[in-house]
C-alpha cells in the first residue's frame, strides 16, 4: 500500500521513500506550503490550479513531476487511482512520505523520469517548468512516460506579467519563463496536442483586496517581505488577516485575456 514504512515497488517500478522521519521544510521564498498565513496568497493561487485540473486525474495513474511540499500530490490522491510524487530535494521527499501517506514518493531528477515507457495516464507539472534548464528534454521525458492519449497538466508563471520588462527572469530560481504562445509552441514541438491553454486571474475576492491596498495585493505583500523570509517581517495585522482569508475560489481560470493572466494553465495530450 502507498506510504508504508519500508521500501517497495510502486506503479513506476522504483522504490518509494520510507516514512521513518518527517522533515521540516525550510521556506526559501520560492516554494510555498500550506498553513503559513504569510504564504497563503501564493499557496491558494497555486492550489486553485490543482482544483481546476483535478477532473483530469480521476481514476488515473498520476506522476507529479516536481512535487515540492506535496500538498498537490495529496489533493490529486483524493481522486486518482495512484499517485507518484517525484522531487529531487531529499527533505521534501522525506516530508511528503511522512505527511501524505496516501502518496507514493520517490527522489529523482526530472531530466530522467524513473518511470517505464507509457506507464502513466497523467503527468502533473505545476509551477516547475520555469525552473528547468532543459525544458525540451523534460517534455520529451513526459511524452515518453505517458501512454497514448495521456495528458500533461502544466502551470507556470506568465512571463508577460511576471517579468514583463525582461527576457531574463528576475526570480533567481527561474531559468526561463514563458509567454502563452511560447508555452504552446514548446508543447507542440515536443509532440503534444494542446487541448487547453487558460490563464489564472484574480477573482472578485482578490480584486477587492487589490483595490483596498492601492491597486495590487501582490505589491502590498512585497513591500513587507522584501529582504525577509515569511514569518520574519513585521506584517500589519489587517494585511495578514486579509491574506490568510484568501481561498482557491478567489481566483478565476479562463481562456480569456491570456496575455494579462498571472499564471498559465495548460493541458496537453500525447497523440
Q: What is the pLDDT of residues 74-125, one digit of tens each?
A: 999 999 999 999 999 899 999 999 999 999 999 999 999 999 999 999 999 9
Q: Is residue 26 part of a domain?
A: no
Q: Is residue 4 part of a domain?
A: no
Beta-ladder partners of 201? 252
Give the DSSP letter of residue 121.
E
C-alpha span between 63 and 215 (Å, rounded): 38
Q: Is residue 10 part of a domain?
A: no
Beta-ladder partners of 1? none
> What average pLDDT does range 62-76 have in this prediction?
97
> What average pLDDT does range 138-142 have in this prediction?
98
Q: Is residue 155 part of a domain?
A: yes
Report the number of distinct structural domains present in the chain.
Answer: 1
> What average pLDDT does range 226-239 have in this prediction?
74
Q: Is residue 24 part of a domain?
A: no
Query: Which residues are CB-contacts of 221 (< 8 A; sequence separation ≥ 6)?
Result: 38, 41, 239, 243
C-alpha span between 107 and 130 (Å, rounded): 20
Q: Tell me the average pLDDT of the chain.
A: 88
Q: Is residue 253 part of a domain?
A: yes
The residue segments making up the domain with residue 100 are 37-269
Q: Is residue 25 part of a domain?
A: no
Q: What pLDDT digit, counting tens, does each position of 186-219 carry?
A: 999 999 999 999 999 999 999 999 999 999 999 9
- For residue 1, is pLDDT > 60? no
pTM for the structure as a whole: 0.88
In contact, 98 and 124? CB cutoff 8 Å? no
Residue 240: CB atoms within 10 Å? 15
The percent of residues in the chain predicted with pLDDT above 70, rounded, is 86
Here the CATH number for the domain that contains residue 208 is 3.40.50.150
Q: Is residue 258 part of a domain?
A: yes
**Helices within the chain (DSSP H only):** 40-53, 71-77, 90-99, 135-145, 159-162, 180-189, 204-212, 217-225, 237-244
Give the DSSP letter of residue 248.
G
Amino acid at each position: 500500500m502507498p506510504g508504508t514504512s519500508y521500501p517497495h515497488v510502486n506503479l513506476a517500478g522504483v522504490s518509494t521513500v520510507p516514512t521513518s522521519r518527517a522533515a521540516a521544510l525550510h521556506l526559501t521564498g520560492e516554494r510555498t506550503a500550506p498553513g503559513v498565513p504569510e504564504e497563503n496568497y501564493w499557496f491558494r493561487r497555486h492550489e486553485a490550479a490543482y482544483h481546476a485540473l483535478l477532473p483530469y486525474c480521476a481514476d488515473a495513474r498520476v506522476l507529479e513531476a516536481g512535487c515540492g511540499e506535496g500538498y498537490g500530490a495529496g489533493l490529486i490522491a483524493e481522486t486518482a487511482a495512484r499517485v507518484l510524487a517525484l522531487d529531487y530535494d531529499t527533505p521534501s521527499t522525506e516530508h511528503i512520505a511522512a505527511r501524505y501517506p496516501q502518496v507514493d514518493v520517490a527522489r529523482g531528477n526530472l531530466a530522467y523520469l524513473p518511470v517505464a515507457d507509457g506507464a502513466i495516464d497523467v503527468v502533473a507539472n505545476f509551477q516547475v517548468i520555469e525552473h528547468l534548464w532543459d525544458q525540451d528534454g523534460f517534455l520529451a521525458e513526459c511524452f515518453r512516460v505517458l501512454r497514448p492519449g495521456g495528458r500533461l497538466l502544466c502551470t507556470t508563471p506568465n512571463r508577460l506579467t511576471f517579468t514583463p520588462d525582461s527576457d531574463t527572469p528576475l526570480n533567481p530560481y527561474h531559468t526561463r519563463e514563458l509567454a502563452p504562445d511560447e508555452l504552446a509552441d514548446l508543447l507542440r514541438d515536443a509532440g503534444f496536442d494542446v487541448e487547453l491553454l487558460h490563464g489564472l486571474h484574480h477573482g472578485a475576492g482578490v480584486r477587492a483586496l487589490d483595490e483596498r491596498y492601492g491597486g495590487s495585493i501582490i505589491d502590498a505583500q512585497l513591500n513587507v517581505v522584501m529582504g525577509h523570509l515569511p514569518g520574519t517581517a513585521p506584517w500589519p495585522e489587517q494585511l495578514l488577516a486579509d491574506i490568510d482569508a484568501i481561498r482557491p475560489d478567489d481566483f478565476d481560470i479562463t481562456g480569456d485575456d491570456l496575455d494579462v493572466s498571472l499564471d498559465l494553465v495548460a493541458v496537453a495530450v500525447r497523440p
